[in-house]
Amino acid sequence: MKISISRQHIYLMSISIFLFLFVLIFSFSMLIPAGKEYRIKRVELKKVNKEFRKYANFHDDTVATLQELRSENRHIITAFDKEFSAYRFEKQHKNYFSKLSISKLEFIEYEDEKAFSVYEVKTSSQISSPSSFYNFLDALNKSDWIISIDFPIDFVRDGELIKSSFTMKVYANTKETNSSVSTSEAK
């Protein structure tokens, strides 16, 4: 009994064995080590994505808080940008007193930048109680500027007239600070 295998079958069989060996060598030398590396990188990517989501959530919460604070304190933010006018201040608040005078005392710097001006306010009114002064303080809260009244507030009675004297600080941003912030935001 003689086995007769054609030459084509031998060529086909040898090419098949060669391709099979090539696939085995390629998979064990390239694919399996790359698969291990892929699994390691996938675990690292999951860790990085988890950390990214944590920071993205923190960023979103911070932005939401910032927007909420901006909307709640819009009046205060715009008040810092308004320039103080002593004439306008006297005009707005002179109806609370029979006489109102304001004089600038000094300019106080805070951390090498201009922070606020200090004014002395002298008032007198013909009243029997200082209630108009308290109405004046309420009006200050609704004014266009950020103002703090410093103690002591001196009330002196002169017959029917009550004279008061106090100092106030007017807080405002300097124009240089605002321009540097706006140029850094533009970049």
pLDDT for the residue 63? 95
**In angstroms, rounded to a whole number, what is the distance separating the alpha carbons of residues 66 and 53?**
20
CB atoms within 10 A of CB 33: 10
Which residues in 124-152 are b (16+ Cβ under 10 Å) and which e? Answer: bbeeeeeebbeebeeebeebbbbbeeeee
**Domain range list for the chain:** 1-72, 83-178
Distance CA 164, CA 129 (A): 12
Residue among 125, 86, 132, 127 at smallest CA distance from 105: 86
User: Model confidence at 53, in pLDDT bands (50, 70, 90)?
Assistant: very high
Look over the chain and give the mean of its residue pLDDT values, rounded to a whole number: 76
Measured CA distances, 12 to 24, 116, 155 (Å): 18, 94, 115
What percent of the chain has a predicted confidence (pLDDT) above 90? 21
CATH class in words for 83-178: alpha beta
CA distance 102 to 121: 4
13 against 37, higher pLDDT: 13
- Starting from the edge strand earliest in sequence, which strands make up the sheet with 113-125, in order? 99-110, 113-125, 161-171, 146-158
> 7: pLDDT confidence band, cut at 50, 70 and 90?
confident
What is the rounded distance in angstroms from the CA atom of residue 121 to the CA atom of residue 90? 10
Q: What is the pTM of this model?
A: 0.46
The residue type of 158 is D
What pLDDT is stored for residue 91 in this prediction? 78
Roughly how many angstroms between the first and final C-alpha of the chain, as a whole number? 90
CA distance 162 to 125: 6
